[in-house]
Amino acid sequence: MTLLEITLISIGLAMDAFAVSICKGLSIKHINWKVIFIVGLYFGIFQAGMPLIGYFLGKGFETFVTRIDHWIAFILLSFIGINMIKEAFSKEENKTGDDLSFKTMLILAIATSIDALAVGITFAFFDVNIILSVAIIGIITFILSGIGVILGNKFGSKYEKKSQILGGVILIIIGIKILIEHLMS
């Protein structure tokens, strides 16, 4: 596999994390470099780690993983999206939208990197430098996730409740998209 092919795969894998980062940025009132770094780091590490795990799992588990990865991503993203929409209509002060806790970020990072596990499995059958590949995937995801937080925050500060609802809807749509793509293939 060429460097260009790995870079294009990396960008494709990073798109879900980018979209979720935009949603995260929508709900954070005040961002700083620490917030951008934390979001980018979670998504970058998981987006790089999943192909590495998939690579080592190899062909043996390919059928099992590809049978359920879309359901896992759909359930996690839909759950998070529904909660974001509910919080937008809640009369309580919203404190979870800017939640960067381990639990919240772990769920988001896993949900957006499930497809990368399947990519890693396919890497096992090609002439791929796995260390270089996962490094490129992680770096590209880290950068795009940081950009996503910034873009989401710029938009979200103007349209707070509407943007949180939009963010929740986007997460649900991404989950449905992943599910439909896998069910139709």
pLDDT in tens, 97-120: 567 889 889 998 998 888 888 788
Give the 3-state secondary structure percentages of the chain, helix then strand then coil, rounded to 5: 85, 0, 15
pLDDT band at 172 (very low <50, low <70, confident <90, very high): confident
CA distance 177 to 184: 10
**H-only helix segments in 28-129:** 33-57, 62-89, 102-123
Q: What's the pLDDT score for residue 39?
A: 95
pLDDT, tens only, 72-105: 778 877 877 787 788 778 765 444 456 788 988 9
Q: What's the pLDDT score for residue 95?
A: 45
Q: What's the pLDDT score for residue 65?
A: 64
List Cα–Cα distances, 41 to 115, 142, 152, 155, 180, in angstroms. Answer: 18, 6, 17, 22, 29
Give me the number of domains the chain comprises. 1
pLDDT, tens only, 3-33: 988 998 899 888 888 888 988 888 887 889 9
Q: In this structure, are residues 21 and 148 in contact, taking their beta carbons and an 8 Å threshold? A: yes
Q: What's the pLDDT score for residue 40?
A: 96
Query: What is the number of other CB atoms lying within 10 angstroms of the CB of residue 40?
Result: 23
Q: Which residues contact 67 (CB under 8 A, 6 or more apart)?
A: none
Domain span holding position 173: 3-184
CA distance 25 to 111: 17
Q: What's the pLDDT score for residue 94?
A: 44
Q: What's the pLDDT score for residue 163?
A: 63
Q: What is the pTM of this model?
A: 0.73
Instruction: Tell me which of 24-33, 75-84, 142-151, 155-164 is least confident.
Output: 155-164
List Cα–Cα distances, 54 to 70, 72, 94, 141, 154, in angstroms. Answer: 15, 16, 37, 17, 36
